Amino acid sequence: MTGSKGPRLRLLGTGGTIAGTAPESTQLNRYAAGVIGAEALLTALPQLNQIADIQVEQIANVDSADLGFNHWRDLVDRLRQILAEDSGLAGVVITHGTNTLEETAWLLQLLIDDPRPVVLVGAMRPASALSADGPLNLYQAVQVAVSAEARGRGVMVVMDGQIHSARAVSKRATQGVGAFHSAGRGPLGWVDDFGVHLPAVEQRAPAAFAALSLPTVWPQVVILHGCVQPSEALIPALLSAGVQGLVFTGTGAGQLSSVERNALAQWQGPLPLMLRANRCGMGPVHRCEDHARLGLLPAGDLSPQKARVLLLLALINGDDRTTLASRLLSR
C-alpha cells in the first residue's frame, strides 16, 4: 500500500480467524484459521489508503492455538528490529488469532520498550462470514496505531471498537464479536469515526524485560487448575520431570488445597519458581503466609496464562524468587 496517504505503519500478520475462511458465508464456527495472507487483508480494505501508508510482513499464518515459542521469538526479534531501524514509523499493527492473543500482547508489553503504539487485532468471525468483524477491527486498529493519543500506552488490543491494555485484556466468550474485556477496570478507551478516545492518564512503566534476548529452548512452566479433590499424583510427577515453573490457578483468591500444599511440602528436592493466580477471573491474589512458606508468590491480578508468560521471561532472565517477587510488587 505504498503511495497511500498518511503516516507510515507496519502490519505484521500471524494468522487467526481474521485470516480465516469457510466454504459458506453462513459458517461462523466451522472454518480454517490462518488461510489468507496479511497482504490480502489489506487489499480487501481500500479505506485504509486514506489513513495510513502500510507495509506488510507475514510472520506466520497459523491458528493461535498452534503458536509456539519460536513464533514468539520471531515476532519479538522482528518487531524490535523494525522499531530500531525505522524511526519514522508511526506504529505497528499485528493481526493475531483471538484464542491466545492476550498472551502475545502481554509478552510484547514485557519485552518492547518504545513509545510508538503496538496494536494487536483479531476477529471472532472468519473473513468469509456474513458481517465479518475483521475488516472493521483492522481499520480501527490502524486508526489507533497511527494516532497521537496512543503514543506511550504500550501494547494495546483493539476489538469491537474498544481499546484494551495488554495487561488487563482477556477473551471471555467463545463466540460473539464482543468477546474481549478488561476485568475490573474496563477498556482503556474507544475508537470510532470521531477518532481515538483515550483519557490522558495511564502512563506506561518501562518494559520489564526490554533487554532480554529470547532463547531457542524455553523453560518448562506448567499451569495447574484448582478444583475439588485435585490429583495427588500430578505435582510429584511434574516435579520429578524437572519443570522449572508452576502456576497454580487457585480457587477463590488463589488458594491451593491441602493435597497440593502437602505435595509441595513433602518434595525433597529444590522447588521451582511458583506463582498463585486465581480461577475466578477477577480480583487480586495477595500474599498468604501458608503459601509463602512453600515458596509460592501471589500473581496479583494477572490471569494464570499471563502469570505464566511473566514466569517464562523471569526464568529466561535467570531471576531468583526474590527478584521475581519484586517484579510482581512493582508492576
Q: Give 20 or 300: the residue with its C-beta nearer to ligand ASP.
A: 20
80-85 contact pairs (CB < 8 A, 24+):
80/111, 80/112, 82/10, 83/112, 83/114, 83/116
Query: How many amino acids of this chain bind ligand ASP (CB under 6 A)?
Result: 11
* Position among 5, 50, 65, 286 found at the interface with ligand ASP (CB under 6 A): 65
The DSSP output letter for 155 is E
Judge contact between 272 and 298, C-beta under 8 A. Answer: no
* Position among 63, 102, 114, 319 found at the interface with ligand ASP (CB under 6 A): 63
Q: Give 63 or 319: the residue with its C-beta nearer to ligand ASP.
A: 63
Q: Give 57 or 66: the residue with its C-beta nearer to ligand ASP.
A: 66
Catalytic residue among 2, 14, 17, 26: 17
Q: Give 81 or 174: the residue with its C-beta nearer to ligand ASP.
A: 174
* Position among 33, 76, 177, 275 found at the interface with ligand ASP (CB under 6 A): 33
Q: What is the three-class DSSP state of 275?
A: strand
Angle at 290 between CA 222 and CA 293, to 5 degrees: 75
Query: What is the residue type of 252?
Result: G
Query: What is the residue type of 67?
Result: L
- Report, in Å, the least distance between residue 115 CB and ligand ASP: 28
Distance CA 97, CA 66 (A): 10
With CB atoms as reference, the residue minimizing the distance to ligand ASP is 97
Annotation marks residue 2 as catalytic: no
* Position among 1, 17, 51, 154 found at the interface with ligand ASP (CB under 6 A): 17
Cell of 270: 529444590
Kindly state whether residue 13 participates in binding ligand ASP, applying the rule CB under 6 A: no
Tell me the window of 96-104, 191-199, 246-254, 277-285 that interacts with ligand ASP (CB under 6 A): 96-104
Cell of 52: 495510513
Tell me the window of 61-69, 87-95, 130-138, 210-218 that interacts with ligand ASP (CB under 6 A): 61-69
- Report, in Å, the least distance between residue 150 CB and ligand ASP: 23
Write each residue from 294 to 323 as x if it is in contact with ligand ASP (CB under 6 A), else as -, in one continuous string: ------------------------------
Q: What are phi and psi of 30, to 5 degrees?
A: -100, 95
**DSSP assignment string, 207-247:** PTTTTPPPPSS---EEEEE--SS--SSHHHHHHHTT-SEEE
Kindly state whether residue 170 participates in binding ligand ASP, applying the rule CB under 6 A: no
Judge contact between 52 and 7, C-beta under 8 A. Answer: yes
- Report, in Å, the least distance between residue 146 CB and ligand ASP: 24
- Report, in Å, the least distance between residue 197 CB and ligand ASP: 25
Q: What is the three-class DSSP state of 71?
A: helix
Distance CA 265, CA 221 (A): 19
Distance CA 50, CA 65 (A): 34
Kindly state whether residue 133 participates in binding ligand ASP, applying the rule CB under 6 A: no
- Binding-site ranges for ligand ASP (CB under 6 A): 16-17, 33, 63-65, 97-99, 122, 124
Cite the active site residues. Answer: 17
